[in-house]
Chains A and B, each alone.
Chain A
């Protein structure tokens, strides 16, 4: 780890002011950034911690949607969303291990957009809105590729609003070592539409599986998915699985999620 300054603002305004200065980077739960710092892969001059800002914490129901503030940890979400949006609570409860869930935040995860992160799948499948310090962005327009999002310099995620589906399921096929998603599918069933998103599999990060959405919107059944498969192009191939394997596992996870809900 290289030396850096650490600032601990207690209001969002103060944090944004600091982040506007040259050489400052935001630090949320640190579950990705701290290991990178330890390995000397990042060299920030100053880190602005977002962990002491009360206005960035909390979960509330807003009409048909669940609003989760950016600094909410996975562990807080497990409890806070349990009765309102159990599918999302279940997803949060399977991120990492208890230590990771106690520190890691939804804002950090969404802003990092790791190709194997869990939340982007739920955000894309439900048609969530990402709230930033400057604007509101639809999930479809927010996740732009591997570790890439619509966030500008100095802009941070302040919350995510998830439309609450009638029912949802997250089937996660884990990479055996890290237990990150190797191929995971979030299925969100609404009155008039079905959202399906895949994470862990693509070189471009989480994405919506629109063919699956169309088929399931017409007929929500495993049978409706007959013959449907994910193309291998652009999928990740590594020591844990080839692109063809990830494509097939995404299909298996999709069918299992639908079977669990049908």
Chain B
């Protein structure tokens, strides 16, 4: 443990920059003289464009360019966004084209229809008002499920895919033979990612090359997409990410605005800038979640799970986004059976197009959804079976001696000490004291419930990464292929390299987010960053130690095999010389061995890790108003070996806060005409500080055997566990009143109404 990451709570070095206004985000570094872009967006949810006259706008003061689907294509660009489609037993998912700018038809309110580029933003806005746009309305469809007017001819009934995994006959037979069967329908509400910094970019021409600067989760995907869209060679394109104010999956996907801006810069040979406003984000950002699942759990007489079935209907929005089709199908399946010894599982997932912005990855991408379904279904089962929820989990956990364990959905978990972690969680959350706390709440006229979720996470993303170390005269650069969105990467990566090499942390500068400097990287996403980047750094340290050792051996005339590096100094047999890595770099520089001073090494893993743990939430409900507060929250995680405990805990805090937001306050609402009713923070309720209790974090680590550090990714785990923990706490508080059917978000009105209905029924 000492060797690989000293597990120290090192403070974030980047925070001084961020907190003193010295962060440099896209909007802070736009080159002077840039043209400003404004997007005219679809005013209705669904319809045929019958007229679009841009002639007045084109002649308006300050306007340099107006782009529509027609002029975009006429300029030789490809008016289609890239996306992946899922493989099915009998083919693949639907692939209706997704235009950069709406082509003849609009499919959601906020879809980009035209882009106006002018000297000032006010001029671009003025010109946008001069475009006459006529749309013949078509009926809107919001599903999720079959029905409504077909949104794409390629997808009859609006069905994008019908995917399944598992042996249906065996699962149905096992369910039929079960002593008890518990079936629950569980909606998972749509949320908006709302990073603190909305999406934005600028594109400039540097000689004949195109440079896009945008706030993303990596630069290489966008580079390929620009090349394909504009018909350029990838070598003619440079993409950079400066400081980024939150991504959460949203910024992992290229959005249409980026390609339109790139096209305009190329056509005009000038810099073009666009910064999205908050309402534009609400309208056009990829959404998250938005599905409804029916879960069925079969149990034997002892409360052991005999089979598990989930049927999911999900909303893909109006178009396929990058990975939209994979979220509620393949990614959902990664952890669908959770931590339980379930032999028979069946997943059936159907994705539907609707008249809303596309839906794609949002913190956790499929795993929070799967764990919510399983663990809330377990909460219902405990209640229906009359078994203590902690006990029901214990009876079903995969035993510690079964690892490596391959789950019913084909995923191999390396290690797991679930019962041990759960016992610790039971102590830490003081389950024994709950009845007393409940009595206290009741004395104050409040209802109180305790909810448990035992989650497991599957780390995703590319299983290879590179690290380049450049020994400069004054500092050492570490080039990384991941991308910070504010998580503290600069601290963690520099500290890890420092621990491995003895190079003082203050001499290390982490460089990221520039496709000209870094040839390839996997970016941030799927909780992969620290595991993958440090794996690459370990490979780099080994490579540098070996090559520097060989250089020293040659210089000193000793056998290279006898030169060692002990994480601080090189040792040579029979010599007092014990140089540090920086001293050897200086020797190499003096010897003209520049080849040693910049080294790129690749780290790769065969498998990622499986963080898991228990979230215990307590809610307090005011039955008169329905106001619900999460009043106690205890997390006991197994993240293997912690690289930086403080930052890991911070990730959990943020993840739980996002989970509390989805569970209690966040809700995207469209009206029947497709207008978004929650398009500003006046109507979309993000959790505030007062909505988030102090979160107790405890760690009971079992090292992963799938990577050298023994660590497990922690970026999404908080969100994965929170939804079911809070939902089960609600069930605990409300079931005694007869309420067992209430869906997230638990807004005051919804909770009040549920309580009120039982009162009316009882009267």
Contact = CB atoms under 8 A, between A and B. Distances in A.
Interface string B733-744: 000000000000
A252 interface: yes
A176 B625 CA distance: 12
A252 B669 contact: no
B683 interface: yes
A176 B750 CA distance: 12
Interface string A22-65: 00000000000000000010000000000000000000000000
A252 B677 contact: no
State the majority secondary structure of interface residues on B.
loop
B233 interface: no
B268 interface: no
A8 interface: no
Contacts of A249: 625
B749 A241 contact: yes
B16 interface: no
B683 A178 contact: yes
A239 B677 contact: yes
Interface string B12-35: 000000000000000000000000
Contacts of A173: 625
B43 interface: no
A239 B748 contact: no
Given A239-B677, A242-B749, A177 B684 contact: yes
Interface residues of A, number: 17
Interface string B607-643: 0000000000000000011000000000000000000
Contact of B682 (A178, A245, A248): A178
Interface residues of B, number: 20
A245 B752 contact: yes
A3 interface: yes
Contact of B678 (A239, A245, A248, A252): A239
A239 B669 contact: yes
Contacts of B681: 177-178
A245 B684 contact: no
A240 interface: yes
B647 to A, nearest CB: 29
Given A176-B665, A245-B749, A245-B753, A239 B683 contact: yes
Nearest to B686: A177
Interface string A109-127: 0000000000000000000
Contacts of B624: 252
B692 to A, nearest CB: 14
B177 interface: no
A178 B678 CA distance: 11
A260 interface: no
Interface in B743-763: 747-749, 752-753
Contact of A40 (B125, B665, B752): B125
A222 to B, nearest CB: 13
Given A3-B122, A176-B685, A177-B683, 13 more contacts: A1-B122, A176-B665, A176-B748, A177-B665, A178-B682, A239-B667, A239-B669, A239-B678, A239-B683, A241-B748, A245-B749, A245-B752, A248-B752
23 contacts: A1-B122, A40-B125, A173-B625, A176-B685, A176-B747, A177-B678, A177-B682, A177-B683, A177-B684, A177-B685, A178-B681, A178-B682, A178-B683, A180-B682, A238-B677, A239-B667, A239-B669, A239-B677, A241-B749, A245-B749, A248-B752, A249-B625, A252-B624
The 6 A-B pairs with the shortest beta carbon distances in the complex, nearest first, are A177-B685, A176-B685, A178-B682, A241-B749, A245-B749, A239-B669
Interface of B: 122, 125, 624-625, 665, 667, 669, 677-678, 681-686, 747-749, 752-753
